[in-house]
């Protein structure tokens, strides 16, 4: 069998054994790349997210530079709150700012439930452009998970402890649930629209689910992620979280087809919790600052632990803007050169 990038990715995402695990990485279209910065020098981040031609261009850049096995559409998880009527701004060096946070039942009731085809056309349009330009490269869609979007919408900005967001869960559970239900439906429809536009898979980012205790993950983030994922048919659904090792058995209950692991987790131990569920991950993005020989050793250790089946190689979190490109090159070369150890 001759493996294509499409069959390699799909085989891994569905639990099979391709010639080697496919390689892509979170935020691969980003500020560590000079060609990305060249595009960004002429346009704001949000305008870039809204421009399918330029979004397609930056989506394509790392795929072509590194000959990656998959693209991920360039966008941001906060396009969903914006489509629901919450203004979103990005201040240079300060992360997102949502100037009208959602804190009360009236705030939730005032949110728009968008028709995703009308309100969120950019990602599907970008997917279609990319597929026409690089039909040989599978492209992933994505969205923020309901709990993670709730965090930003309630807090109004990034946070170490998500005091406002978590306080809302505890002090006004009815309002929090209404917001999560609404978000789950919108996010699910948005992911489905991306599958309909030809995404080879979709990733649901629940980055802040790990701010919750085991009890609160089970009560809040898990059912919301389940509800969103249940609306998506026709392509593998990847669910990424961070800091959720204490309740990986619950993460599995989302029903996701593939579980994305953060860099802290030992793959063998995670597999013991997850059973046959395919995994994605999980090299420490900071390890890309290490010498090439150390990077190669780490890549091999991760791929050895994964065993070559049901494993998509990735970082355990997004690549950082100051990452040396030589480190990225060393990682990709090692991942492509990896061979499963012969059975004894």
285 contributes a contact to a second copy by CB under 8 A = yes
Which of residues 310, 316, 335, 338 is near a second copy by CB under 8 A?
316
The Cα angle at residue 149 between residues 146 and 154, in degrees rounded to 5: 120
User: In the annotation, is 172 catalytic?
Assistant: no
Tell me the sheet residues that pair with 260.
240, 280
Beta carbon nearer to a second copy, 9 or 283:
283
Q: How far apart are CA 93 and CA 82, in angstroms?
A: 20
Alpha helices in the chain, H assignment, sequence order: 5-13, 34-40, 45-49, 52-66, 79-83, 105-109, 116-119, 122-133, 146-155, 163-171, 173-196, 214-216, 222-230, 248-251, 267-274, 292-306, 325-337
Closest CA to 201 of 57, 336, 73, 63: 73
Select the span of 33-41, 179-187, 220-228, 316-324 touching a second copy (CB under 8 A): 316-324
322 contributes a contact to a second copy by CB under 8 A = yes
Beta carbon nearer to a second copy, 118 or 215:
215
| Ordered DSSP codes for 3-41 | --HHHHHHHHHTT---SS--B--TT-SSTTSHHHHHHHT
Beta carbon nearer to a second copy, 180 or 199:
180
Given the residues 17, 76, 105, 172, the one annotated as active site: 76
CB of 88 to a second copy, least distance (A): 20
270 contributes a contact to a second copy by CB under 8 A = yes
User: In the annotation, is 269 catalytic?
Assistant: no
269 contributes a contact to a second copy by CB under 8 A = yes
| HSE toward the beta carbon, residue 133, CA cutoff 13 A | 20
User: In the annotation, is 76 catalytic?
Assistant: yes
Given the residues 152, 217, 239, 240, the one annotated as active site: 152
Closest CA to 69 of 123, 28, 109, 114: 28
Binders in 189-228 for a second copy, by CB under 8 A: 210, 212-216
Given the residues 17, 40, 105, 231, the one annotated as active site: 40
User: In the annotation, is 31 catalytic?
Assistant: yes
CB of 89 to a second copy, least distance (A): 20
Q: How far apart are CA 217 and CA 121, in angstroms?
A: 31
46 contributes a contact to a second copy by CB under 8 A = no
Binders in 226-255 for a second copy, by CB under 8 A: 243-247
Phi, psi of 315 (to 5 degrees): -80, 165
CB of 291 to a second copy, least distance (A): 7
Q: How far apart are CA 143 and CA 122, in angstroms?
A: 13
Binders in 159-188 for a second copy, by CB under 8 A: 161-163, 166-167, 170-171
User: In the annotation, is 266 catalytic?
Assistant: no
Tokens representing residue 291 in the block: 């010498």
Interacting residues toward a second copy by CB under 8 A: 161-163, 166-167, 170-171, 210, 212-216, 243-247, 263-266, 269-270, 284-287, 289-291, 294, 298, 301, 316-317, 320, 322
Known catalytic residues are 27, 31, 40, 76, 152
């Amino acid at each position: 069998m001759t493996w294509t990038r499409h069959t390699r990715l799909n085989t891994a995402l569905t639990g099979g054994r391709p010639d080697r695990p496919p390689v892509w990485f979170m935020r691969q279209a980003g500020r560590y790349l000079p060609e990305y910065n060249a595009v960004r020098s002429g346009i704001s981040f949000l305008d870039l997210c809204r421009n399918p031609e330029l979004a397609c261009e930056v989506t394509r850049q790392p795929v072509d530079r590194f000959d990656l096995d998959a693209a991920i559409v360039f966008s941001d998880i906060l396009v969903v709150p914006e489509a629901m009527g919450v203004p979103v701004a990005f201040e240079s060096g300060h992360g997102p700012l949502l100037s009208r946070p959602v804190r009360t039942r009236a705030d939730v009731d005032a949110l728009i439930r968008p028709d995703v085809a009308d309100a969120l056309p950019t990602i599907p349009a970008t997917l279609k452009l990319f597929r026409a330009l690089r039909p040989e490269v599978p492209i992933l869609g994505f969205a923020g998970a309901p709990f993670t979007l709730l965090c930003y919408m309630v807090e109004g900005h990034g946070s170490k402890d998500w005091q406002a967001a978590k306080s809302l869960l505890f002090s006004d559970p009815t309002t929090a649930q209404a917001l999560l239900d609404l978000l789950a439906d919108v996010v699910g429809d948005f992911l489905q629209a991306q599958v309909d536009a030809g995404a080879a898979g979709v990733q649901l980012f629940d980055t802040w689910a790990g701010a919750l205790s085991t009890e609160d993950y089970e009560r809040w983030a898990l059912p919301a992620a389940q509800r969103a994922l249940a609306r998506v048919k026709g392509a593998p659904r990847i669910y990424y979280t961070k800091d959720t090792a204490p309740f990986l058995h619950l993460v599995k209950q989302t029903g996701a087809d593939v579980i994305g692991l953060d860099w802290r987790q030992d793959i063998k131990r995670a597999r013991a919790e997850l059973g046959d569920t395919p995994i994605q991950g999980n090299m420490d993005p900071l390890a890309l600052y290490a010498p090439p020989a150390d990077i190669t050793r780490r890549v091999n250790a991760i791929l050895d632990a994964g065993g070559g089946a049901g494993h998509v190689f990735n970082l355990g979190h997004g690549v950082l803007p100051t990452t040396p490109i030589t480190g990225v090159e060393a990682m990709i070369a090692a991942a492509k050169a990896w061979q499963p150890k012969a059975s004894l």
